[in-house]
A and B are shown apart, each in its own frame.
Chain A
Amino acid sequence: MGQGSRWGRIAGRELTTVAITIFGLLLVTFLIARVMPIDPVLAVVGDRAPADVYEKARLDLGLDKPLWQQFAIYIGKVFSGDLGRSVLTSNLVTEDLRTVFPATLELATLGTLIGVVIGVPFGVVAATHQGRWPDQIARIVGLFGYSIPVFWLGLMGLLLFYAKLGWVAGPGRVGVAYQDLFDPITGIVVLDAALQGEWDAFRDAFSHLILPASVLGILSVAYISRMTRSFMINELQQQYVVAARVKGVSEFRVVWGHALRNAVVPLVTVIALSYMHLLEGSVLTETIFAWPGLGRYLTNSLLNADMNAVLGGTLLVGAVFIGINLLSDIVGRLADPRAR
C-alpha cells in the first residue's frame, strides 16, 4: 500500500539531485572557461589574424551575446554531444574521450577490485581482532595509504618491480608486438585480448596493467579496510549478533554472514567513493605509466592550454561521478530492506 508512490517520491528526489548536480557541473565548467585569461578567439584564429576575421570568429563563437545566453548555448552544445575540437589532437573531443576513457576505466576498475578483495577481508579481520596485530597492521596500512602520493608510489613501483626485479612490464598499455593482434571491441585491452583468445597478448597486457592497478589498489585497500573495520565494529556490537550466537550460529558465520551482510549497506557508498577516488588518482598515475587514458589526455591538454579538451574531460569525469553516485544510492537501497 503506497509502495508505488513511495518509489515515485524516491525516484523524483534522486532525479532532482542528479539534475541539479549536472547543472552545477555545467555552470562551473562554463565559468572556468570564462575566467580563463586566454582569449578564446585568438585560440581559434591565431594571434596574427586581421581585425575583421577576429570579429567574425568572435560572433561565430557567440561571445557578443549576454553571458546567460552563452551559457544556454553551451548547455545545448553539451547535450547534443558537441564538446568542440581539441587543438592538440585536432580531433573532436568526444572522439578523443571515446578512445581514452576505456583505458582509465580498466585501471580504476581493477584498482577498486583489488581494494574490495583485499580491503574488505582485511577490515573484517581487523574488527574481529581489535587492538591485536591484524588490527595494528590494518591501521598502519591505512595511515600509509592516506599519506603516500600516488604518483610517487607509481615511480617507486616501476623502479622496484620493473627496473630492479623485472616482475612486470614497464610503461605503456600493451607491447608493440601485440598491438595489432586483436581488434578493439570494448576498448578495454585485457578484455579484448581475452575475448579473441589472444592469450599471449592478454598476458602482456595484464603484466602492463597489474602495477598501475596495484598502485591505485593500495589507496583503495587503505580506505576500504579502514571503513570496513569501523562498520564491522559497529555491527558486531549489535544485539542481533548476540542472538545469532545464542541460536548456535558458528563464529565464522556470525562475522562473515550476519554482521558483514549488514555492513554491506554502508560499504556500498564507500566502494563507490573509492572508485571515484581512483578515477582521480589515475590522472596522476597515468603520466608515469604512459597509460593512454583520460588522465594523461587531461594533463597533456592542461599543459597545452587546450581548453576544449580539458573541459570535455572534466565534464566526463563529473558525469561519471554523478552516475556512480546514483548507482551506489540504488544499490545501497536494494541492499537494505529498510530503505527498499
Chain B
Amino acid sequence: MSDTSLKSGGWHDWLITNEPGSRRQARLGQLYRQWLALRRNPAAMAGLFIVLGLLLVAAFAPLVAPYDPLVQSLGERLRPPSSANWFGTDALGRDIFSRVVYGTRVTLVIVLLVVITVGPIGLLIGCAAGYLGGWVDTVLMRITDVFLAFPRLVLALAFVAALGPGLENAVIAIAFTAWPPYARVARAETLVIRKADYISAVRLQGASQWRIVWRHVVPMCMPSLIVRTTFDMAGIILTAAGLGFLGLGAQPPIPEWGAMISAGREQIFDQWWVATFPGLAICVVALGFNLLGDGLRDVMDAR
C-alpha cells in the first residue's frame, strides 16, 4: 500500500493514524480502513462498479437513452438489434434499450422504497425484542417466526391482488413480507451488545432505555444490517420483477423490466430480443448487489 500513501499523502496518514484526535476522525478512519479492505476484493469492486453504474444511468437516463421510452412507432415494430436500436424494438415499436435505461429508475425507486420502509421497522422490532427481552421479546419473535414461515411471494401476490395492482402496492406488499429477516438480524446483534460492559457503564450513568437503544445499540447493529440490506436488494429486485412479470407491479406503459419480459413472452421464439435484454438487465443489477453484499460482509462483519 506504499503507493497509496504516496498518492494521498496527508489524508491517508490522517485517516490511518492510531491516535485519532476526535471521534469524527476515528470514525472516518475506520470507514477508510474498510474501504481499503474492500478495494482489495475485485469481485466486490465489480459489484460496486455495477451499483454506481446503475445510479448514474438512472440519474442521467434522458442523456443515456437515445429515444423516448414511451413513444410508440408502429412502423418500427419488433426490429432486431441494430446500430439504430441496440436492443431492438418491442411490439409497439418502442426502443428497448431506452426502455431498459429508464427501467433503472423504476427498479431503484422500488428498491429504495422497500429498504426505507423495511430497514427501520426490522431494526426497531429486533432491537426492542433483543434489548427489552421478556414477554416483549417472546411476542415479537413469535410474530416474526409466523411471518418467516409464510410463503413470501405468494403472500405478496395475495396482497397485491387485494389492494389492486400498481407500483405503490407492490412496494407495500414486498415490504410487508420482507421485514422479518431484518428483525432477526437486529435481535441477534442486540442480544450480544446488550451484555457488553460499555452498555452497563452507560446504564450506570443513568441513561434512559430509549437513549441506550437509540444511541448505543442501534448504531452497533448497523453494519450487519447494511450487509443484510445489500444482499436483500437483489432479492427485492427479483421479487419486484416477478410481480411486474405477473402484471401486478408497475402498470404499462411504465418501463418496468419484469413487465417488459412478460410483454416479450409471446414473441420469445421469433423475436428473442424483446424478453432477453430486460432479463439481462435484472441479472446484471442483481449480481452487482450480490457481489457488493458479499464483499461488504467480509469487510464489515469480520466477526
Contacts and interface: CB of A to CB of B under 8 A. Distances in A.
Interface of A: 17, 20-21, 24-25, 28-29, 32-33, 35-37, 143-144, 146-152, 155-156, 158-159, 163, 276, 279-280, 283-284, 287-288, 298-299, 301-303, 305, 307, 310-311, 313-314, 317-318, 321-322, 325
Nearest to A288: B265
Contacts of B246: 284, 287, 299, 302-303
Given A155-B275, A298-B157, A305-B161, A276 B151 contact: yes
What secondary structure prevails in chain A residues at the interface with B? helix
Nearest to B261: A152
B242 A29 contact: no
B199 interface: no
B145 interface: yes
Interface of B: 142-143, 145-147, 149-155, 157-164, 234-235, 238, 241-242, 245-248, 258, 261, 264-265, 268-269, 272, 275-276, 278-279, 282-283, 286-287, 290-291, 294
Nearest to A37: B164
Contact of A149 (B143, B164, B245, B269): B245
Nearest to A33: B162
Given A143-B291, A152-B279, 8 more contacts: A32-B158, A37-B164, A143-B287, A147-B286, A147-B287, A152-B261, A155-B264, A299-B246
Nearest to A280: B153
A310 B234 contact: no
A283 B151 CA distance: 11
A277 B53 CA distance: 30
Nearest to B264: A155
Contacts of B276: 156, 159
Given A147-B286, A321-B150, A310 B158 contact: yes
**By CB atoms of chain A within 10 A, which of B151, B153, B291 has the most?**
B151
B17 to A, nearest CB: 33
B201 to A, nearest CB: 34
A330 to B, nearest CB: 15
B5 to A, nearest CB: 29
Contacts of A311: 158
